[in-house]
């Protein structure tokens, strides 16, 4: 995963060093390609660092009141352009639920799961994101966040292994990712005292995770 974008960057810089000044448009295209690969590399390295911090117990979270509707809005702002470009409808339901946790990490989990759902969706599909009060854990009031797609679905024998480090689905689109995204989602959710799981649907897959409920905004 690291070698491919690095090789691309090498070719990009080699081209730029050898190109003539007249190749303006082609140069811009190569520069943009290089920039995309730099972003991809930085994200991958950050994911690796996060994994190591979690494994060593050095990653801590600060619990505060997190309004899920603000997390949902961050998801819309981050992914709506990509959804529209892919011809997929992104449907995010409003919520009044407030959870206890780290807003940045919760944002990353929701955006990561939703981006994954978009990647495996086809034109005309809908990706739905919503939250509901949960009674899964009777010792503590919880919230369950669900991200539902209409893709081909995950095979039953992969529903648990998808959260393993570097695991990739047996799909040609899997090569686009690092195999770390769902692992980080699982780690972040567990740092909050929650659980995360995947469910195969008649059409598509549902990813769900829980967070501690703090309050519900009055109407």
Where does the pLDDT of residue 131 fall: very low under 50, low under 70, confident under 90, or very high at 90 and above? very high
pLDDT tens digits, residue range 39-57? 777 777 777 888 788 778 7
Residue range 7-19: average pLDDT? 73
Number of CB atoms found within 10 A of residue 112's CB: 21
C-alpha triplet 36, 38, 43: angle, nearest 5°? 95
Q: What is the mean pLDDT of residues 27-31?
A: 73
Q: In whole angstroms, what is the distance from residue 192 CA to residue 182 CA?
A: 16
Rounded CA separation 215/211 (Å): 12
- Residue 25 or residue 202, greater confidence: 202
User: Cα torsion at 91, 126, 121, 170 (round to 10°)?
Assistant: 90
pLDDT at residue 94 greater than cutoff 90: yes
- Among 33-37, 67-71, 184-188, the range scoring the smallest mean pLDDT is 33-37
Asked whether residue 9 carries a pLDDT value surpassing 60, the answer given is yes
Band of pLDDT at residue 137, cut at 50, 70 and 90: low
pLDDT for the residue numbered 65: 96
* For range 153-170, the mean pLDDT: 71
* Alpha-carbon span 141 to 211, nearest angstrom: 9
Q: What is residue 160's predicted lDDT score, i.e. its pLDDT?
A: 79
Task: Say yes or no to pLDDT of 167 above 60.
Answer: no
């Amino acid at each position: 995963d690291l070698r491919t974008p690095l090789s691309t960057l090498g070719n990009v810089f080699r081209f730029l060093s050898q190109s003539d000044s007249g190749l303006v448009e082609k140069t811009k295209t190569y520069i943009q390609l290089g920039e995309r690969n730099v972003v991809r590399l930085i994200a991958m390295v950050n994911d690796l660092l996060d994994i190591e911090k979690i494994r060593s117990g050095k990653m801590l979270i600060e619990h505060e009141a997190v309004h899920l509707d603000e997390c949902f809005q961050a998801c819309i702002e981050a992914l709506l352009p990509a959804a529209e470009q892919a011809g997929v409808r992104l449907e995010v339901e409003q919520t009044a639920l407030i959870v206890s946790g780290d807003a940045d990490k919760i944002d990353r989990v929701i955006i990561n799961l939703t981006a994954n759902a978009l990647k495996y969706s086809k034109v005309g599909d809908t990706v739905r994101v919503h939250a509901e009060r949960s009674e899964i854990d009777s010792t503590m009031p919880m919230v369950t966040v669900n991200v539902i797609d209409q893709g081909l679905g995950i095979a039953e024998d992969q529903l648990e292994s998808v959260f393993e480090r570097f695991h990739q689905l047996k799909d040609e689109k899997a090569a686009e990712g690092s195999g770390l995204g769902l692992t980080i989602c699982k780690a972040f959710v567990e740092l909050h005292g929650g659980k995360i799981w995947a469910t195969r649907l008649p059409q598509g897959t549902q990813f769900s995770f829980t967070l501690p409920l703090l309050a519900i905004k009055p109407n």
